[in-house]
Structure 1
Amino acid sequence: MKRIIFLLAVVGMAKTGVGQYRYGSFGSQVRLGFTLNPLVSVLKPQELGVTRNSAKAGLDFGLMADFSLNERGTYALASGFQVLLAGSKLKYDAGKGLSDYKPNPAEYNMKLTYIEIPLALKLKTQPHDAIGWWGQFGTYVDFPVSGRADIVSMNQTYDRVNILPQLNRINVGMLLGAGLEYPLGGNLTGLAGITYQNGFVDVTRNGKWNDGRVNMNSFALRLGIYF
Structure 2
Amino acid sequence: MKQLLLLGVFCGIVTTSVAQGRFDVKQSVRLGFKIDPTITILNPQEAGVNRNSAKLGVSYGLMVDFLLDPEGRYAIASGLQISTAGSKLKYDAGKGLGNFRQQPAEYNMKLQHIEIPLSIKLKTVGGSDIAYWGQFGTYFGFPIRARADVVTMSQTFDRQHILKDINRINIGMLIGAGIEYPLGESLTGLVGISFQNGFIDVTRNSKWDDGRVNLNSFALKLGVYF
The TM-score normalised by the length of structure 2 is 0.88
Q: Structure 2: which 5+ runs fail to align?
A: 1-22
Query: Is the alpha carbon distance of 1:26 and 1:163 closer, same or farther for their aligned partners in structure 2, counting shifts above 3 Å?
Result: closer
Q: Partner letter of residue 146 of structure 2? A: G
CA distance in 1, matches of 2:212, 2:28: 40
Q: Partner letter of residue 54 of structure 2? A: A
How far off its partner does 1:154 sit?
1.5
Runs of 4+, deviation exceeding 4 Å: 24-27
2:220 alignment partner in structure 1: 221
What SS class does the counterpart of residue 100 from structure 1 fall into?
helix
CA distance in 1, matches of 2:83, 2:127: 33
CA distance in 2, matches of 1:102, 1:48: 15
2:160 alignment partner in structure 1: 161
Contact 1:43–1:214 (CA under 8 A) maintained in structure 2: yes
CA distance in 2, matches of 1:96, 1:124: 47
2:173 alignment partner in structure 1: 174
1:13 alignment partner in structure 2: none
CA distance in 1, matches of 2:85, 2:158: 17
Q: Which moved more, 1:88-97 or 1:120-129?
A: 120-129
CA distance in 1, matches of 2:25, 2:157: 58
Query: Is the alpha carbon distance of 1:27 and 1:113 closer, same or farther for their aligned partners in structure 2, counting shifts above 3 Å?
Result: closer
The TM-score normalised by the length of structure 1 is 0.88
2:92 alignment partner in structure 1: 93
Q: Which moved more, 1:123-132 or 1:217-226?
A: 123-132
What SS class does the counterpart of residue 88 from structure 1 fall into?
strand
The aligned runs of 1:184-223 (5 Å cut-off) are 184-223=183-222
Contact 1:26–1:71 (CA under 8 A) maintained in structure 2: no
Q: Structure 1: which 5+ runs fail to align?
A: 1-23
Query: Is the alpha carbon distance of 1:26 and 1:59 closer, same or farther for their aligned partners in structure 2, counting shifts above 3 Å?
Result: closer
CA distance in 1, matches of 2:218, 2:165: 25
Q: Partner letter of residue 210 of structure 2? A: D
Contact 1:84–1:115 (CA under 8 A) maintained in structure 2: yes
Q: Percent identity?
A: 63
Query: Is the alpha carbon distance of 1:70 and 1:188 closer, same or farther for their aligned partners in structure 2, counting shifts above 3 Å?
Result: same
How far off its partner does 1:26 sit?
10
Query: Is the alpha carbon distance of 1:167 and 1:25 closer, same or farther for their aligned partners in structure 2, counting shifts above 3 Å?
Result: closer
Query: Is the alpha carbon distance of 1:157 and 1:26 closer, same or farther for their aligned partners in structure 2, counting shifts above 3 Å?
Result: closer
Q: Partner letter of residue 181 of structure 1? A: E
Contact 1:111–1:148 (CA under 8 A) maintained in structure 2: yes
2:35 alignment partner in structure 1: 36
Note the alpha carbon deviations across 1:160-182, whole angstroms, 9 max, x for none: 10010000000000000000000
1:106 alignment partner in structure 2: 105
The aligned runs of 1:113-152 (5 Å cut-off) are 113-152=112-151
Note the alpha carbon deviations across 1:204-227, whole angstroms, 9 max, x for none: 000000000000101000010000
CA distance in 1, matches of 2:163, 2:83: 15
1:66 alignment partner in structure 2: 65
How far off its partner does 1:128 sit?
4.1
Q: Partner letter of residue 55 of structure 1? A: A
Query: RMSD between aligned alpha carbons?
Result: 1.4
How far off its partner does 1:156 sit?
1.0
CA distance in 2, matches of 1:149, 1:32: 35
How far off its partner does 1:100 sit?
1.6
Contact 1:174–1:199 (CA under 8 A) maintained in structure 2: yes
Query: Is the alpha carbon distance of 1:185 and 1:102 closer, same or farther for their aligned partners in structure 2, counting shifts above 3 Å?
Result: same
How far off its partner does 1:201 sit?
0.1
Note the alpha carbon deviations across 1:63-100, whole angstroms, 9 max, x for none: 00000001111100000000000000000000000012
1:48 alignment partner in structure 2: 47
